[in-house]
């Protein structure tokens, strides 16, 4: 952990119960800086909930989510969803808006927006309405906008599940670039090939429980629970 870092993120017996129904139970896990963690599991396992709890969109109803800097909701983090949430504004304005909310000066913002568009090939679309971009371009913009906020950790909830293979490839390349810059990645995916390509660590959830948390090689070579074995074999849908 570097001085002032928000990482590791420590989850201690974290749970989330709604209306007496436990949706996530007793998750204990450390997310250290600089790793790519892929969260896997069948439909309804609790993957999205896990990400939303980590990011702070919702709070655990039991246990704890502890950022290393002690903040209740760490600032140096961002989340990107399966369907990008974009403003009815231009591409450039979409990147600019959260920077303004974060209090960056106009000059600093202008530099950052230009750098971001240039870096991710969005310059030619700067003035286009963001919502008219293709799905792949919109997701590229959502990731670029998140990157512009200089996050230490980025949560990605099935970022490519609505995209075709070439758009998926671009997003995977971006994830690898972010990771190469030291940004910690936590992402969910249903795509086993993608998980194998991107994961350094795997957390496997089933019915709201963390069944396995291992380095990716170990998980794929020898899953330890019958549920994870069945999942990797394509035999566990729920």
Ligand X SMILES: Nc1ncnc2c1ncn2[C@@H]1O[C@H](COP(=O)(O)OP(=O)(O)OP(=O)(O)O)[C@@H](O)[C@H]1O
Residues in the site for ligand X, rule: CB under 6 A?
18, 23, 41, 43-49
Instruction: Considering the complex, state which of residue 18 and residue 64 has its C-beta at the smaller distance from ligand X.
Output: 18
For strand 21-31 and strand 9-18, is the pairing parallel, antiparallel, or unpaired? antiparallel
How far does CA 85 lie from the centroid of its chain? 14
Pick 59 or 217: Cβ nearer ligand X: 59
DSSP annotation of 72 reads S
H-helix or E-strand containing 157?
strand 153-157
Residue with smaller CB distance to ligand X, 133 or 211 = 211
Residues whose CB is less than 8 angstroms from the CB of residue 1 and which lie 6 or more positions away in sequence, other chains included? 7, 8, 33, 68
Smallest distance, ligand X to C-beta of residue 45, A:
4
- Least separation in angstroms between residue 81's CB and ligand X is 11
* Helix, strand or coil, per DSSP, at residue 126: coil
Using the minimum distance from each CB to ligand X, give the nearer residue, 43 or 107: 43
Q: Which of 48, 77, 56 is nearest to 11 (CA)?
A: 56
Report in angstroms how near the CB of residue 196 gets to ligand X at its nearest.
18
The least distance separating ligand X from the CB of residue 187, rounded to whole angstroms, comes to 12
Task: Please report how close the Cβ of residue 189 comes to ligand X at its closest, in angstroms.
Answer: 9
What is d(CA 167, CA 160) in angstroms, rounded to the nearest whole number? 8
| Residue closer to ligand X, measured from CB, 53 or 92 | 53
Compute CA distances 134 → 92, 145, 198, 227, whole Å.
16, 16, 24, 37
């Amino acid at each position: 952990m570097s001085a002032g870092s928000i990482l590791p993120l420590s989850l201690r017996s974290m749970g989330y119960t709604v209306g007496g129904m436990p949706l996530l139970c007793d998750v204990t896990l450390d997310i250290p800086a600089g790793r790519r963690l892929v969260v896997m599991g069948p439909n309804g396992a609790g993957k999205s909930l896990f990400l939303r709890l980590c990011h702070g969109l919702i709070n655990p109803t039991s246990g704890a989510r502890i950022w290393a800097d002690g903040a209740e909701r760490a600032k140096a983090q961002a989340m990107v969803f399966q369907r990008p949430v974009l403003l009815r504004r231009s591409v450039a304005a979409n990147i600019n808006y959260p920077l303004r909310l974060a209090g960056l000066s106009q000059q600093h913002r202008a530099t950052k927006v230009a750098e971001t568009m240039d870096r991710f090939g969005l310059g030619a679309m700067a003035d286009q309405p963001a919502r008219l971009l293709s799905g792949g371009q919109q997701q590229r913009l959502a990731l670029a906008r998140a990157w512009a906020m200089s996050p230490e950790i980025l949560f990605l909830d099935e970022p490519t599940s609505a995209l075709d293979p070439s758009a998926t490839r671009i997003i995977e390349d971006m994830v690898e670039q972010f990771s190469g810059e030291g940004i910690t990645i936590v992402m969910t995916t249903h795509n086993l090939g993608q998980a194998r390509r991107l994961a350094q660590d795997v957390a496997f959830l089933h019915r709201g429980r963390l069944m396995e948390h291992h380095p990716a090689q170990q998980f794929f070579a020898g899953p330890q629970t019958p549920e994870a074995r069945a999942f990797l074999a394509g035999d566990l849908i729920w």
